A and B are shown apart, each in its own frame.
Chain A
Amino acid sequence: MDAPRPYDFKNLHYKGEGGVLIPLLQKYQTEDGYISRERIAEIHRQTGVPLSQIFGVATFYAQFRRHPVGRNIIKVCHGTACHVANAAGISRALEDQLRIGAGETTQDREFTLETVACLGCCSLAPVIMINKDTHGNLKPTDLRKVLRLYREKKAAGA
């Protein structure tokens, strides 16, 4: 395993003595896309926080993923407004087309499908968010077109 990285506490303004754990996990998830075993060990070496506590925190919060993710992350909103506007149908259609369930990643690592509690654009319900773009007022039949957009983006980029 690599030597521990030099870690600049001051620069990242983690002042509170015990409060660094969650910001650290967030930082690594931003860098890697998920929290690997190696990262957990690394945090343990840097901070001295017990492994069990790090693992406990990493699995407690919904934000932290324990597995690598696809290139595009699809978040399907299942908030109240979306729920009454047929978010279940949107999820089902996505699952059918990508052939994966919620929380899973396609084999080609193109798409990860996630369900979230509320994206906060309730007046556009039902809403999905792909990476940073929001798509609102969707019907299950619109999704083929939306997904194609991202597949084409990849083709154009390659």
Chain B
Amino acid sequence: MRILVGLGTCGVAAGAGATYAALLARTGPPNSSCKVGKTGCVGMCYREPLVEVREDDGTRWQYGQMTPDRVDRLLEEHLGKGEPIEEWLVWTSEGKGQEKAFLDRQQRIVLRNCGLIDPEKIEEYLAVGGYQALKRVLDRKDPDGLISLIIESGLRGRGGAGFLTGMKWRFTRLAAGKQKYVICNADEGDPGAFMDRSVLESDPHSVLEGMAIAGHAIGSTQGYIYVRAEYPMAVERLNIAVAQAEAHGLLGDDIFGTGFEFHVELKEGAGAFVCGEETALIASIEGRRGMPRVRPPFPAVKGLWECPTNINNVETFANVPWIVLNGAQAFNRLGTANSKGTKVFAMAGKIRRGGLVEVPMGISIREIVNDVCGGIKEDRKFKAVQMGGPSGGCIPAELENTVIDYESINKTGAIMGSGGLVVLDETTCMVDVARFFLDFTQRESCGKCTFCRVGTKRMLEILVRITEGKGTEGDIERLENLASLVRNNSLCGLGQTAPNPVLTTLKYFRAEYEAHISNRKCPAHHCQALLTYSVNEKCNGCQVCKRACTAKAITGEKGKPHVIDHSLCTRCDECYRACRFEAITRM
């Protein structure tokens, strides 16, 4: 029997390290019958830290919110007496537990090993069939057949644009050049997206294997992983994985004794969102500022160091070994006419169950939000989902039956993007959401194209003005005009898609913009400058708001109604959040 602690970044942030230490301390020497081990992220971020009890026959019991103080009871009851603790159980392999619904609708291909294996031990990856796909393609020695298989599977790039992966490989294979490169784009810069990080932290070998298979397909001997420096754990585990794969002869000069040579090197990004764009990423690896250039020539023809280069995203590579082993049909059976397989989403925002989910393409937004993620927190009203990060857009609740596939999402004005899905409720101001993303793209614009550099700044100024209650007639039209200019006159995806958050919110929530400008009101009660706080007659003088007020703007004796001094109030909303009697009015 083994006890496994989910030690991904989100688990550690929730305190899994302390739980792991407590378990180690109490289970005695490592040769006792019960071993404590590490595993990656299961995806149930909302119940971290997670601890799994796995019996020798493979039966799994997953416990949630396992803080160190729960360790003793777990050891005593489940391991000692063999009585699982029902009230902490979130999921069991026998289909029980409170969070069964979260996993029921999921179909795990990319995340197949996440939470199952120890990411720091290659033996565990090998035990679940790891590197068998690489062995198979190397035995067959048929790169063209392999590329046809990937094309047939219908796998499209999971980085956002959705280009057919097999076609990309074919272009790179056909390109003239002695040295070719494979690059894994792990520069996951979208705020609110963390699926690539989870895959790298929980199952790094599947990405390495995918890269080596791509290397065989296009005829390359060198791969690079461009990973964000902000993901220290992913970097650490990738380094371990590369070293282990090399030691096992699964990467290096003569893989499986077939004479195939493939090396992988890590390149740490330095914090620039634009480096997710392929030509900017290449510039960054070459040691220059990450600025995109005109395409064509595409990297498949002229990429890193002017050589043909194939760039795919982490999730795309993680799909590859599975497709090789299970066949193209098993993959394209899932999904819709033009979008095959599954998609991983990082679910965040105002939902009950936030975390990582992998669902088949073709599922509707409503099913993800309600069935998988348990609906909106505190029973508030579902307002919109933000998809695709700063390049994406907001899809309103009326369109909740939109299915997840590249074309349907594009029709709404949003994009599939890399997979960040932030759920918004009625308390979110859509103008503010647009302002938030413009603020991001404006800061991250590399400055090469004038319209992106200056245009986004002007758009942001207008949005700030509107949220501060200083909007004027004509601002909406100015925004629309600027948006089309920025979109049409930028070189790369950053500028071309930067207006999307503004355009989609204008399309679906125009009335909110108008309320800000004409009535000087924020319908969601979010924009601070448009709010006034006051104490109403429900106040019983409990002093909670007085203590919560960081500006010391609230006065009043205990037991008597309090008063807010408007000249001191910073409208930080703390009193409103703190009050248990609805005695603070926000207008």
Contacts and interface: CB of A to CB of B under 8 A. Distances in A.
Given A26-B229, A26-B268, A80 B286 contact: no
Interface string A108-139: 00000000111111111101000000101001
B440 A134 contact: no
A92 interface: yes
B428 A141 contact: no
B13 A122 contact: no
A108 B436 CA distance: 33
B549 to A, nearest CB: 9
Interface in B267-304: 267-273, 284-290
B17 to A, nearest CB: 10
B290 to A, nearest CB: 7
B475 interface: no
Contacts, number: 150
Interface string A23-37: 101100000000000
A136 B348 CA distance: 14
Contacts of A4: none
B194 interface: yes
Interface string B414-450: 0000001010100010000100110010001010000
B191 A19 contact: no
Given A118-B192, A120-B197, A134-B12, A57 B45 contact: no
A72 interface: no
A132 to B, nearest CB: 8
B10 interface: yes
Interface string A5-49: 000000001011011111101100000000000000000000001
A106 interface: no
Contact of B190 (A18, A78, A118): A118
A158 interface: no
B305 A16 contact: yes
B159 to A, nearest CB: 17
Contacts of A23: 267-268
A147 to B, nearest CB: 13
A7 to B, nearest CB: 15
Contacts of A157: none
B265 A25 contact: no
A16 B574 contact: no
Contacts of B14: 121, 124, 136
Contact of A83 (B420, B436, B570): B436
Nearest to A24: B287
A57 B355 contact: no
Interface residues of A, number: 47
A60 B270 CA distance: 9
A56 B287 CA distance: 11
Nearest to A117: B191
A93 B273 CA distance: 27
Given A57-B287, A63-B229, A22 B305 contact: no
B13 A139 contact: no
B349 interface: yes
Interface string A73-85: 0000011110110
A16 B267 CA distance: 11
B354 A123 contact: yes
B286 A125 contact: no
Nearest to B444: A117
Interface in A57-101: 57, 60-64, 78-81, 83-84, 86, 89, 92-93, 96
B363 interface: no
B502 to A, nearest CB: 15
B572 interface: yes
B272 A120 contact: no
A125 B13 CA distance: 11
Contacts of B192: 79-81, 118, 122
Contacts of A53: 288
B516 interface: no
Contacts of B285: 16, 19
Nearest to A82: B191
A80 B386 CA distance: 9
Contact of A84 (B305, B349, B446, B577): B349
Contacts of A19: 267, 285-287
Nearest to A75: B230
Nearest to A60: B289
Contacts of B88: none
Contacts of B171: none
Contact of B270 (A25, A78, A92, A134): A25
B513 interface: no
Contacts of B548: 141
Contacts of A80: 191-192, 348-349, 386, 389, 420, 422, 436-437
A6 B504 CA distance: 55
Contacts of B191: 78-81, 83, 117-118
B270 A63 contact: yes
Contact of B573 (A86, A124, A136): A86
B346 interface: yes
A80 B349 CA distance: 8
Given A89-B573, A122-B354, A15 B422 contact: no
Contact of B272 (A13, A61, A78, A79): A61
A141 B550 contact: yes
Interface in B320-377: 346, 348-350, 354-355
Interface in B459-497: none
25 contacts: A16-B287, A18-B288, A19-B285, A19-B286, A21-B287, A23-B268, A26-B229, A60-B289, A60-B446, A80-B191, A80-B386, A80-B422, A83-B191, A84-B349, A89-B573, A92-B550, A117-B189, A118-B193, A119-B13, A121-B14, A122-B346, A122-B348, A124-B45, A136-B13, A141-B548
Interface of B: 9-10, 12-14, 45-46, 48, 189-194, 197, 229-231, 265, 267-273, 284-290, 305, 346, 348-350, 354-355, 386, 389, 420, 422, 424, 428, 433, 436-437, 440, 444, 446, 547-548, 550, 570, 572-574, 577-578
Closest A-B pairs by Cβ, 5 of them: A122-B348, A123-B45, A61-B270, A62-B271, A80-B192
